[in-house]
Amino acid sequence: MALTKVQRAAQAAGKTLANRQTPFIFNEWYVAALGHEIGRELKARTILGRQLVLYRQENGEPVALDNRCGHRSFPLSRSSLEGDTIVCGYHGLRYDASGSCVEVPSQCNCAGISIRSYPLVEQGPVVWIWMGEPDQADPKQIPAMPMLDQGWITSCDYMPLKASYVYLHENLLDLTHLSFLHANTFGTPDYAAAEFDTEISEDRFILKRYVVPTRLPPVWAKPTGLEGRDAARITTSDFVSPALHIVHAQFYDIALPESERPDTRIKTAHIPTPETATSTHYFVVHGRNFAPEDDSITDFMHQQLMAAFHEDIVGLEAMEELLSNMSREDEFFEISVKSDIASVAMRRYLKRRAEAERSQHSAPGAVQSQPAINTAVEV
Ligand code: FES
Ligand SMILES: [Fe+2]
């Protein structure tokens, strides 16, 4: 079937955008887990397509190693944790927290045998991981989550998402979907057409939307006391890094002069960590700067927000299913509209980053981040 002129133009423009087929970006800090997910059991988790095992040492420090035993690929997550070491469940090779093998039961020498370990940094409720070139791991580059430093009241959660992280980032930069996908939760009909402006730079993509005047949905109206009032809802979607997106919203009664408006704000960190090309670990850290004493507000807002974010999961998974069943890739196109301006720029950035990493790795003499197969043997 021939495409129309507009469809062909969209198809050509789409070649510069990241999508579910774009390689991962490794040289970034990603959230590997919420802190409470890592304990004294061996936990398997796939991140950026790599199978890892996570656990905590006896002193509480988290550890991430390749899940594949260097001997014959038995999953270390199905092995035993003894003290701070893992004893492989197949032939008993023992690895310490750095990934070095410290015992081979069938021989005396284990020098040189190792598997890859990954730097972790625990900050507040999350544990960050560096999956990229080991010599480029710099904890100072971990993106900030301001709600954790400002003494705000926070709650966090995790949802598995069977869709690409690219589309989750796009979902967060395109909040016109609130009027439709979230019509039954925190969307309002006026949201999609509200005025917005953007700030787009080399690596940061921000869309600010002004829904004024509006009536707030219960998730914001109840805790702010703005039920039944003409209110302002000003929302900023901020792509901070491939691993972090922060949505910041401010609410106030428009009848009040500026000097009398209570400072009522929320910030939600949406944290997409790619699992595979078509699945994502979706972490959420939500914070508010008001009603600090009221736990019932924390529970109410958390439950309402997670119900709304579940609608994103359902929508994104439906898109993924449709795309994975699409038979004619040559007929694929995505037509962008005005409100996509920030997300199109963001997807171009992700594609550029992925291609730059890929060309670095394929350059002559480049160091590959894949661990070499260890051949230290004593036979
Ligand atoms: S596969 Fe792990 S010790 Fe053999
Ligand atoms: Fe949404």
Q: Using one digit for the tens of pLDDT, what is the confidence trace for 241-283?
A: 999 999 999 999 999 999 999 999 999 999 999 999 999 999 9
Ligand nearest the Cα of residue 87 is 1
Q: Which residue has the CA at smallest separation from atom 4 of ligand 1?
A: 91
| pLDDT tens-place string over residues 174-202 | 889 999 999 999 999 999 999 999 999 99
Q: Which residue has the CA at smallest separation from atom 3 of ligand 1?
A: 91
DSSP letter, residue 177:
G
- pLDDT value of residue 364: 60
Domain with 209 in it: what CATH number? Answer: 3.90.380.10
Pocket test for ligand 1, best of 91, 104, 115 (most atoms within 8 A of CB): 91
Q: How many domains does the chain have?
A: 2
Structural domain span for residue 346: 144-356
- pLDDT value of residue 376: 52
**Could you please report the per-residue DSSP string of 104-168?**
BTTBS--TT-B--B--EEEETTEEEEE-S-GGG--GGGSPP-HHHHTT-EEEEEEEEESS-HHHH
Same domain for 217 and 97: no
- Stated length of the chain: 379
Residue 77 within any structural domain of the chain = yes
Q: Is the separation of the CB atoms in 287 and 153 below 8 Å?
A: yes
Count of C-beta atoms within a 10 Å radius of residue 115: 22
Same domain for 154 and 92: no
Distance 209 CA to ligand 2 centre (A): 14
| pLDDT tens-place string over residues 322-347 | 999 999 889 999 999 999 999 999 99
The β-bridge partners of 353 are none
Same domain for 302 and 214: yes
Q: Is the separation of the CB atoms in 14 and 346 below 8 Å?
A: no
- pLDDT value of residue 149: 87
